Structure 1
Amino acid sequence: MTMTSRHTTEWIKYLAVALICALVAIDGIGLVMANTTRTSGQQMEDSTTDVPRLVIKSDSVASRLGGYHGILAFLHNFAVPALLADGEIVAFFGNLTVTPDDIEQCLAMMLDHDLGGSSPHSGAVVESGHKCRGSMPKIHKGRNIPDRTISRFIQIISEQAALAGVSKADIKAIAKALEQNRAGIRNK
């Protein structure tokens, strides 16, 4: 074997490894590659098919929701309009020092992180330059949000997730992630 063909063989190995890594990184391609007879309207409930998968799919709730961008789109298109239409909730959105877009982006990152995604938990800087805070008591200080309002917030998010087609198990995970912040929000 000549030096050139040995280098070519090594480069082919590196290219193959890079291609495999790229395929693994593309979440969801396994669904398309594993069964091409499904239509776009059909969903796979789990990965227990007889067809071998070509891609390792993430099993986190965040990945099933589309990661940060999917969660942000859900908040913007479904959750926030429903929250702002609720009289009990909207009363606590007056006199904000942060824009609604900043709140959506920070909440999307927090949920993505808490549901197994790759977003930072706090300290991220959003498009406007606002830095997300991680302290719920500091964020909600002076708002005096009662427990029933937090329950209503979680209920609306859950209802909107169901309307958006999110599975019951994932809705429970979302509610649990929001519930974990109740003590830092209530009556601050």
Structure 2
Amino acid sequence: MSRNWSRRRRYTPPRSPFRKFLDYCLAFAILGLIVLIVARLDRVETRQTTGSAIVNDGDSITLGAERIRLLGIDAPEYTQTCQKDGADYPCGRRSREALARLVAGKSVSCSGWERDRYNRLLGVCTAGGVDLNRAQVEQGWAVAYGDYDDLEQAARQKGIGIWAGTFERPREWRDTHRMPVEPHHGSAGSMLNWLREMLRLS
């Protein structure tokens, strides 16, 4: 029995110095990555900010020094036009006006942890008890962009906001006008934002 076992055992040659060196390098790299992640965990903590908002367009605002992009939605760009009753109209401006009406005279509160390529906080915001992200899609002045698909469907069926006519989705409009296209606010986009925060130098 022992003789058969010894026959089945395979000879394992000792690792070369170069292989040992590579193993040590890999171990130190993994340790360094762990230290980096622990040191920067504060960058992905949920941030909350409150104040009087300046409305930039239909899906972004500024609170003090913090620029905020409403998470999970995508509104027409400010200069974008849509079509209704055979004519163009400034749907980007209409979307901004709709958001401005929601926040007029109210304190706005936003929370989130992700940041986009422009270093804007991706947040969920409320004003006077109204969820601004939700309201923009519900009223038809923004489309779902990783969330609120049921609200988009309801607005489309009602034919309200931009759904009262025809339009290019904002992402497609940005692409055709050679503007940067941001990642979809889904799981893949969240992972990209997480990595961006971890690797950001400042």
Larger helix percent: 1
**Shorter-normalised TM range:** under 0.3
TM-score, normalised to structure 2, is: 0.26
Q: Which has the larger radius of gyration?
A: 2
TM-score, normalised to structure 1, is: 0.28
